[in-house]
């Protein structure tokens, strides 16, 4: 019964109560929609959006319910000073009373840091050959321009690791006694960094080629005074970032190519189009034309147009868009990337590709955000959340000891929970929506090695969120690419257990720095040995 058809003079108390609850749910939905629209308007204006809802604590509660903390082993801690390298030793003397006996020394180790300017004047020999050619002695390795490698390492480390801004870095260098301008600092951070950019791209390619699973996420990023999006891709062995101006499945497929996008028509591309609901006509036209590879978008769109495949933005399924997505996916398959890799995400549509798994924490957060308006709604909501927590804890236990019988039991429990009808309309609709994603939420039953959450991506992308708070964004494409590349290299070093400081020193040819092998090779080795 619609509310407009009600006769308030004849309505019963029970019917009135039901109408009130229905209206309250509708008001709540409108309030959430209004808040989302306000946040989007603020984001487009470059203003601060609404604070994010605090996590539900699902992970902690599930662990506390199902797991007993293991007793802490009492291990003897080694002496901290034994791991330190002693660079200098001083003997401290005192005047003892007469007839005192010398009993040796008592060691007291002090760690300190030496920060000072070090200006070198290279007197380069000049010779003139009998033929009149002038020869000048070359500069030492690592010296580029009028800035030494140690200063370049300092800038790259403190800008990216320390999250310092260019003005603050310049001020700090002035305090140390260096004669350098903000423009010079900016150039040192962004120019002639091709080696680092190539290695960051190699990290992504190596990760996609050898990873059993990857976790993805994105967050807002400003570039050239416009709102963009920074996408994170990674797992336990690597992390990679890329800032673009659009947020779409096409964009994500281009990023997954780990380089300039190419377009390939093969069996994988045609299968992708069928799954995405493309009409038989374009699929048959591409199949009949035979396998093909195109190295730029212009050549691909021309080929598609010759087959009668054009854009139709008014349709629910745009033929050209689906064909382009399929061609990009075919190229990924042709390159041997994501061969059997599970893509773990928070459930955003652009990330639903291939073997997809959905984060349980984000799924439960949708239930956590619902609000009941009476006791029975709140009780039903809490009952569903408790069941989800118990299922989540048992899924974690299954990952450590997977069995076919346990797999069947967990799948049955999942269906019982998400097929429940509580009478709370908003909750029932949400449960039905999550039930439709059963394959993604229960991917862990087939692949116990895949995490149940995207906490790794959340932690990785936090550095980009911090940078966004202290900076207005990047202005040049080169600056954007360098920021993403160095964040990728820094996070990858952390995950591989390598010092980012030593990595920079090795690549910049700082004398005496330990050697760090190429990070793509280390990512590959870590994936193989895991």
Are 369 and 397 contained in the same domain?
yes
Are 346 and 216 contained in the same domain?
yes
**Residue 23: band (very low, low, confident or very high) from pLDDT cuts 50, 70, 90:** confident
Per the domain annotation, does 228 fall within a domain? yes
* pLDDT > 60? residue 447: yes
CA dihedral 138, 140, 145, 147 (to 10 degrees): -160
Are 299 and 373 contained in the same domain?
no
Q: Write down how long the chain is.
A: 530
134-154 per-position pLDDT tens digit: 999 999 888 888 899 999 999
Which of 219, 242, 244, 155 has the alpha carbon at shortest distance from 462?
219
Per the domain annotation, does 167 fall within a domain? no
Per the domain annotation, does 373 fall within a domain? yes
**Residue 2: band (very low, low, confident or very high) from pLDDT cuts 50, 70, 90:** low
- As a whole number, the mean pLDDT across the chain is 89
The H or E element that residue 355 is part of is strand 355-358
pLDDT for 38: 77
Q: What is the mean pLDDT of residues 45-58?
A: 56
Residues 128-141 as b or e (16 or more Cβ within 10 Å = b) = eeeeeeeeeeeeee
> How far apart are the C-alpha atoms of 78 and 76, rounded to whole Å?
6
**Residue 275: band (very low, low, confident or very high) from pLDDT cuts 50, 70, 90:** very high
| Residue 84 contacts residue 109 (beta carbons within 8 Å) | yes
- DSSP assignments along 194-261, one per residue: HHHHHHHHHHHHHHHHH-SEEEEEEEEEEETTEEEEEEEEE-SS-EEEEEES--SHHHHHHHTTSSS-
* Three-state SS at 128: strand
* pLDDT > 70? residue 53: no
Question: What are residue 216's DSSP bridge partners?
Answer: 233
Residues 395-434 as b or e (16 or more Cβ within 10 Å = b) = bbebeeebeeeebeebeeebeebbebebebebbbebbeeb
Per the domain annotation, does 528 fall within a domain? no
Q: What is the mean pLDDT of residues 393-400?
A: 95
> How far apart are the C-alpha atoms of 2 and 339, rounded to whole Å?
52
> How far apart are the C-alpha atoms of 294 and 124, rounded to whole Å?
51
Are 291 and 221 contained in the same domain?
yes
pLDDT for 203: 97
Are 400 and 418 contained in the same domain?
yes
**Residue 75: band (very low, low, confident or very high) from pLDDT cuts 50, 70, 90:** low
* Three-state SS at 96: coil
Name residues whose C-beta falls within 8 Å of residue 455's C-beta, 6 or more positions apart in sequence. Answer: 59, 361
Are 442 and 368 contained in the same domain?
yes
Are 299 and 392 contained in the same domain?
no
pLDDT for 51: 52
- Cα-Cα end-to-end distance for the chain: 60
Per the domain annotation, does 324 fall within a domain? yes
Are 347 and 460 contained in the same domain?
yes
* pLDDT > 70? residue 63: no
Are 411 and 477 contained in the same domain?
no
Are 294 and 380 contained in the same domain?
no
Q: What is the mean pLDDT of residues 257-273?
A: 94
Q: What is the mean pLDDT of residues 20-38?
A: 77
Name residues whose C-beta falls within 8 Å of residue 294's C-beta, 6 or more positions apart in sequence. Answer: 262, 263, 264, 300, 303, 327
Least confident of 35-49, 133-147, 176-190, 260-274: 35-49
pLDDT for 243: 96
Per the domain annotation, does 322 fall within a domain? yes
Per the domain annotation, does 173 fall within a domain? no
163-177 per-position pLDDT tens digit: 999 999 999 999 999
Count of structural domains, the chain: 2
* pLDDT > 80? residue 511: yes
pLDDT for 40: 72
Residue span of the structural domain in which 475 resides: 207-352+455-486
Q: What is the mean pLDDT of residues 71-86?
A: 64
Are 339 and 388 contained in the same domain?
no
Are 307 and 325 contained in the same domain?
yes
Q: What is the pTM of this model?
A: 0.83
Per the domain annotation, does 59 fall within a domain? no
> How do the residues of the chain divide into helix, strand and coil, expressed in percent and rounded to 5?
50, 10, 40
């Amino acid at each position: 019964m619609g509310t407009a058809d009600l006769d308030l003079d004849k309505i019963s108390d029970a019917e009135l109560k039901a109408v009130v609850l229905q209206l309250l749910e509708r008001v709540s939905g409108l309030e959430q929609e209004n808040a989302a629209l306000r946040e989007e308007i603020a984001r487009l204006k470059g203003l601060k959006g609404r604070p994010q809802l605090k996590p539900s604590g699902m992970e902690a509660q599930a662990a506390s319910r199902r797991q007993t903390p293991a007793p802490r082993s009492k291990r003897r801690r080694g002496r901290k000073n034994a791991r330190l390298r002693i660079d200098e030793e001083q003997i401290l003397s005192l005047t003892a009373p007469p007839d005192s006996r010398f009993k040796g020394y008592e060691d007291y180790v002090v760690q300190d840091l030496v920060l000072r300017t070090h200006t070198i004047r290279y007197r380069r020999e000049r010779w003139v050959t009998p033929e009149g050619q002038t020869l000048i002695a070359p500069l030492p390795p690592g010296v580029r321009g009028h800035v030494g490698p140690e200063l370049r390492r300092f800038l790259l480390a403190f800008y990216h690791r320390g999250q310092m801004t260019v003005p603050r870095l310049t001020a700090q260098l002035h305090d140390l006694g260096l004669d350098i301008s903000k423009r010079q600092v900016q150039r040192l951070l962004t120019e002639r960094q091709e080696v680092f950019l190539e290695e960051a791209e190699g990290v992504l390619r190596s990760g996609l080629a050898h990873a059993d699973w990857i976790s993805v996420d994105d967050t807002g990023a400003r570039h050239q005074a416009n709102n963009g999006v920074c996408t994170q891709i990674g797992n336990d062995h690597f992390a990679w970032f890329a800032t673009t101006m659009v947020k779409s499945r096409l964009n994500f497929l281009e990023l997954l190519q780990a380089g300039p996008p190419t377009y390939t028509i093969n069996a994988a591309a045609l299968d992708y189009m069928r799954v995405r609901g493309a009409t038989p006509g374009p699929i048959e036209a591409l199949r009949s034309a035979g396998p093909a590879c195109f190295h730029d978008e212009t050549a691909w769109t021309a080929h598609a147009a010759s087959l009668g495949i054009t854009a139709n933005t008014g349709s629910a399924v745009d033929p050209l868009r689906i064909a382009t997505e399929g061609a990009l996916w075919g190229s990924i398959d042709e390159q041997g990337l994501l061969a059997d890799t599970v893509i773990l995400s928070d459930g955003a549509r652009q990330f639903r590709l291939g073997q997809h798994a959905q984060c349980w924490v984000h799924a439960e957060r949708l239930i956590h955000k619902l609000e009941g308006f009476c006791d029975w709604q709140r009780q039903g909501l809490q009952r569903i959340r408790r069941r989800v927590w118990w299922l989540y804890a048992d899924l974690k236990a299954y990952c450590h000891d997977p069995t076919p019988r346990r797999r069947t039991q967990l799948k049955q429990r999942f269906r019982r929970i998400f097929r429940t009808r509580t009478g709370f309309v908003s909750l029932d609709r949400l449960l039905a929506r999550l039930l439709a994603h059963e394959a993604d939420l229960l991917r862990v039953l087939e692949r116990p090695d895949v995490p149940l959450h995207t906490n790794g991506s959340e932690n990785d992308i936090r550095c980009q969120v911090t940078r966004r708070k202290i900076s207005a964004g990047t202005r040049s494409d080169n600056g954007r690419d360098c920021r993403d590349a160095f964040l990728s290299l820094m996070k990858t070093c952390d995950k591989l257990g390598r010092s980012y400081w030593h990595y920079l020193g090795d690549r910049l040819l700082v004398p005496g720095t330990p050697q760090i092998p190429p990070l793509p090779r280390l990512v590959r080795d870590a994936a193989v040995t895991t």
